[in-house]
Structure 1
């Protein structure tokens, strides 16, 4: 055995020993399945997967599953804004959302003004990952002005709105009724004045990551409560703050074409994740995704699916190295046209 292979084997054994120390609740899998079973839009029996040899009969079932990591093997910036740019929106009908994005939110969440366009902005919410609260991101199409301060105000206002998340598994760490009093941006620093102070560090991070998604990088965010300085916050480490796995696209509630791309990201052991597609209670397909980087870095992967029309649930998760149990589940329900 070469020296390089021997070193790799030693490293693999060390990682396996550390992974075995992870404690998994005995009822974790049952709790995940119970949560998944609550999806009200599941249908009874659906499509049946078939192989490439029968791909010419593609009108009924899955025909293509092509997993591939992104060409750039550097870890993606989880705060980067990758959604479509701002488009003018003089009337509600002038800028319809793309089929892979959720519908525009009700206008009561943010009042448009002269010069306002519809902008796709990243908004962070709180979800549960192995019993721990973690941040998850959605892109929302919101009315916002062209300045960074206008966009920060729109994204934070949406974040604070109760039940504004498209995914019902996500929520906000902020108390109900919290509003935005003012926002100012000076280069890589932002000041956000709210009607309430952050109740805990998680709420402060939810706001900070949302602001950072607008400004980029790791801005300094000064929090104020009714005009009084509260604290200054920077983004905490992604590994300790974000959900281990994200389904980025399609988002929960999206309507997609029969052939569409699934975009996943996360930080998991050996960069290995699983994707299960269900129609009703029927498993349509199960695939292994290899992310472009493994934990502690965050990697990405994309896979192209062709599904029969109907409602499908996409489940992204990892399997425990210790006992094979499901971990880090993030699931989205989508409608295939």
Structure 2
């Protein structure tokens, strides 16, 4: 069954709608266009490190692209990113179809989108799977529709490595609204601080196998750029911990990276957890977290 997040209050709809419909792109170079150098592969998961190209060739017939899913945070549902290998024949269509399926590697992620398969020409004009996508499904709130639309926009702009507005078309080939949300000039990425989870682990992937030590990386917007992390055993006991320093904070998500030594641990299943720093000392809603199950061999 497709994992679909609860329809809890997630964003102030007016704030997201204002950014979404304004027709201007986000200034975040990391999120919808995370390309600034050659792909680096890590032994734990073999996924691109943040700031690297999301479209490097994994095999002759596959490329690696960013796909955005939905997960719960203290601020409500937000977008989380995974780098995934997809068919090189139509990477944009494959990435959008994957976002709609909700079939994330991380079991904590899901989707707000209806089921559907995209086929694209590889540019910023995207045909909807069918005309039912022009209307919000029964029971979908406006805030959920806006976040679902952002799944498509962030994924499309990430694959295209461009901030160009995304235009969706119906069966007639004409520009159309999506999930009941209209725009005259195409759809752009909403403010990352109000749309994305404030911490996101890129490496290791879920179910990665590691040994000796591994490089953990991701993006965050955390107090004073500090991104604490923990490694927990099968009984949820903390067996290692530390913190990474991101390249910045406050206005968008910035890359972070750290080395994690597992050489002294018994082989088995562990959970790597990255989180935002909580200057309230537990008095607020609590930190945003992203966790990945790994196996130490």
User: What TM-score, normalized to structure 2?
Assistant: 0.70
Higher helix share: 1
1:190 aligned onto 2:125: yes
1-side partners of 2:275 and 2:42: how far apart?
26
- State the match for 1:130 in structure 2: 74
- Trace 1:222-233 onto structure 2 (pairs within 5 A): 222-227=167-172, 229-231=175-177, 232-233=186-187
Segments of structure 2 that go 5 or more residues without pairing to the other structure are 1-26, 48-58, 137-144, 178-185
Q: 1:244 aligns with which of 181, 190, 198?
A: 198
Shift of 1:204: 1.0
Alignment check: 8 A CA contact 2:213 2:260 kept:
yes
1:297 aligned onto 2:235: no
Segments of structure 1 that go 5 or more residues without pairing to the other structure are 1-73, 86-96, 104-114
2-side partners of 1:313 and 1:230: how far apart?
43
Per the alignment, in what secondary structure is the counterpart of residue 275 of structure 1? strand
Shift of 1:283: 1.1
2-side partners of 1:83 and 1:151: how far apart?
19
- Trace 1:246-285 onto structure 2 (pairs within 5 A): 246-281=200-235, 282-285=237-240
Large movers: runs of 4+ above 4 Å: 81-85
Per the alignment, in what secondary structure is the counterpart of residue 220 of structure 1? coil
Shift of 1:268: 1.6
Q: 1:208 aligns with which of 144, 149, 153?
A: 153
Shift of 1:327: 0.8
Distance 1:138 1:82, change over 3 A: farther
Per the alignment, in what secondary structure is the counterpart of residue 255 of structure 1? strand
Higher strand share: 1
Alignment check: 8 A CA contact 1:275 1:314 kept:
yes
1:330 aligned onto 2:290: yes
Q: 2:62 aligns with which of 104, 118, 129?
A: 118
1:29-78, CA deviations, whole angstroms, 9 ceiling, x for partnerless residues? xxxxxxxxxxxxxxxxxxxxxxxxxxxxxxxxxxxxxxxxxxxxx97612
Distance 1:286 1:263, change over 3 A: same
- State the match for 1:23 in structure 2: none
Shift of 1:83: 9.9
Per the alignment, in what secondary structure is the counterpart of residue 128 of structure 2? strand
